[in-house]
Amino acid sequence: MSARTTTAGGGSGGPSGSAVPAKGLRAGILDLGDSVMLGLASTAPVYSLAATLGLIVAVNGIYTPLILVLGFIPVLFIAYAFRELNSAMPDCGTTFTWSRRAFGPWAGWLGGWGVALAGIVVLANLAQVAGQYLWLLIGDGSLADNKLVVTATGVLFIAFMTLVNYRGIRLGEHVQRVLTYVQYVSLGIFALAIIIRIAGGAPEGQAFDIEWFNPAGAFADPGAGVHGALLALFIYWGWDTCLAVNEETENPSTTPGRGAVISAFVLVAIYVSVALLVMMYATVGTEGIGLGNEANQSDVFLAMKDVVLGPWGWLIVVAVLASVLSSTQTTILPTARGTLSMGVHGALPPKFGEVHTRNQTPGFSTQVMGVAAVVYYVAMSFLSENLLSDSISAISLFIAFYYALTGFACGWYFRSTLSESARNLWFRGILPLLGALILTAAFFISAVQMWDPAYGDTQIFGIGGAFVSGVVLLALGVVLAVVCRFLPSTREYFTGKPAAAAGTTTSA
């Protein structure tokens, strides 16, 4: 393909010269509804609730609904940053492209690394859960405890979703739509069953209390309030996938940003409403199906399914499985497009910038992301499942890093336009910067917590394994950036003269 560029529209009031290289992706194939759906599916809302709700309750008790709202606030502020930056530069590289334009090549490279790193590590978690839940549905469920079977199944799921993404965005959208319908219909049935049981007088339930939204009570123990907010903060991660497919969306400078904000609001509504229903029915007690029961913390829905749905309890297992699989597919999307953009702009070798001619997808980048996720998952599964678990906990560091970087990039990139209107001041300056500051604080608070050897399941040299794995993986990005600085194919990116080619295509 030619090295054409397009100038972003919709960025009125922003700095000029925001040219976006054309990459050969299939333009205009997704509409606003598709964009919102991708944003919702990427967060794996059913699985996120199942796996996180019990942990938040263990820390915050009855104040869990408020904590879910508070965790949403910095996410919303960063969603505005994504929207504003996308209006000026609708490039599928998102954080990489925007950070580079705001702060230079090194910040851009590390921002891109943060996106890719979070995606690869979380794919290992999703594969593990998908493998376990599939075998929970088959036979007596005993194979869900077989490490070899679960790992092999997880690898097959990653390979299949990589193939789906490789074959085309429209195929991926169709698969995603089916999985999204399955998980939301199943979750809706689950919620309706709870409502019917509550209306019929759940014998051990608890009535709604406005005290659950009392900030004074939630932060009576500041440490618990902050810890819970950090847990809540990261269950929202994933809505930015709709920005990574901006070049394949109708009106790329406006539609993806709207999709991101809409999906963020829908997510908080789902999380808070379902949390309220589950709390009212199961209570936050420590016995039986109570959300405070340590035996239920890893998956509150699995503990409740038979009590709520009876012989139809398998529906919630299907919902979690569909949620995990849809998130697996939509996690590969942004990581592959991020490295595609890095290849196009010269930050990675040109091979990463190749787009498959027929499929119009980032062929090589998609394959690399799939292989990297498989290698990481298999290696960690057989080296240490506990270390795998702790490295997944470290995802919070990667997310906070690249979200905060995006917020700071927004404020800095648009700094000359902030005085032009109240809208610019708030949505390009105050809110993104406030979100970035909150996430920076979250980064360091999480790091301090992870330093404690009692945090998580492993310790290395007397330090928490989650901290060590998080720092090592982030530091690996610095090492790789230095390597790319001296590679003949990428050094021009770092010297301020990025490669002129906007991308290449391959036929197969």
% of the chain exceeding 70 in pLDDT = 93
Which residue is associated with the tokens 């035996």? Answer: 295
pLDDT score of 18: 55
CA torsion through residues 211, 73, 467, 458, sign: positive
Mean pLDDT for 37-51 is 88
Residue of higher predicted confidence among 402 and 15: 402
- The answer on pLDDT for 210 being more than 90 is yes
pLDDT score of 81: 97
Q: Model's pTM, two decimal places?
A: 0.90
Mean pLDDT for 99-103 is 96
**Burial classification of residue 223, based on how many CB atoms lie within 10 Å of its CB (0-12 exposed, 13-18 middle, 19 or more buried):** exposed
Which residue is associated with the tokens 């049981």? Answer: 197
Q: Of 17-21, 80-84, 153-157, 318-322, give the lowest mean pLDDT range.
A: 17-21
- The answer on pLDDT for 10 being more than 70 is no
Between the CA of residue 447 and those of 65, 237, 384, 455, what are the distances in Å? 25, 18, 21, 11
- The answer on pLDDT for 45 being more than 50 is yes
pLDDT score of 311: 92
Mean pLDDT for 203-229 is 86
pLDDT score of 231: 80
CB 337 within 8 Å of CB 362: yes
pLDDT score of 462: 82
Opening angle at CA 395, ends 130 and 277, nearest 5: 60
CB 116 within 8 Å of CB 352: no
pLDDT tens digit string along 165-194? 999 988 888 888 899 899 999 999 999 999
CB 163 within 8 Å of CB 369: no
Closest CA to 345 of 195, 180, 493: 493
C-alpha–C-alpha distance, residues 345 and 294, integer Å = 49
Between β-strands 463-464 and 504-506, what pairing exists: parallel, antiparallel or unpaired? unpaired
Residue of higher predicted confidence among 402 and 58: 402
Q: How far is CA 351 from the centre of its chain?
A: 26
Reported as a pLDDT band with limits 50, 70 and 90, residue 202 is low
Q: How far apart are the two ends of the chain, measured CA to CA in Å?
A: 15
Cβ contacts of 383 within 8 Å, gap of 6 or more: none
Q: How far is CA 471 from the centre of its chain?
A: 19
Between β-strands 354-356 and 504-506, what pairing exists: parallel, antiparallel or unpaired? parallel
Task: Return the DSSP state at 505.
Answer: E
pLDDT score of 203: 62
Opening angle at CA 147, ends 145 and 153, nearest 5: 100
pLDDT score of 6: 41
Mean pLDDT for 95-110 is 96
Which residue is associated with the tokens 């399941």? Answer: 457
Opening angle at CA 389, ends 42 and 313, nearest 5: 60
pLDDT score of 261: 92
Mean pLDDT for 30-42 is 90
Reported as a pLDDT band with limits 50, 70 and 90, residue 74 is very high
Mean pLDDT for 263-283 is 93
- The answer on pLDDT for 4 being more than 80 is no
Reported as a pLDDT band with limits 50, 70 and 90, residue 8 is very low
Please provide the average confidence, as pLDDT, over all residues in the chain. 88
CB 132 within 8 Å of CB 144: yes
Residue of higher predicted confidence among 111 and 201: 111
DSSP three-state, residue 127: helix
Reported as a pLDDT band with limits 50, 70 and 90, residue 12 is very low
CB 111 within 8 Å of CB 95: yes
pLDDT score of 270: 94
Mean pLDDT for 493-504 is 60
Q: Which tokens hold the place of 397?
A: 């560091």
DSSP three-state, residue 34: helix
- The answer on pLDDT for 397 being more than 80 is yes
Mean pLDDT for 113-142 is 90
Reported as a pLDDT band with limits 50, 70 and 90, residue 1 is very low
pLDDT score of 453: 85
Mean pLDDT for 293-314 is 89
Q: Which tokens hold the place of 358?
A: 């027929």
Residue of higher predicted confidence among 212 and 227: 212
CB 340 within 8 Å of CB 352: yes
- The answer on pLDDT for 221 being more than 90 is no
- State which of 226-240, 301-315, 442-456 shows the largest mean pLDDT: 301-315
Q: Of 61-65, 226-230, 234-238, 373-377, give the lowest mean pLDDT range.
A: 226-230
Sequence letter at residue 85: L
- The answer on pLDDT for 14 being more than 60 is no
Mean pLDDT for 101-107 is 96
Q: Which tokens hold the place of 267?
A: 């997510």
Rounded to 5 degrees, φ, ψ at 169 are: -65, -35
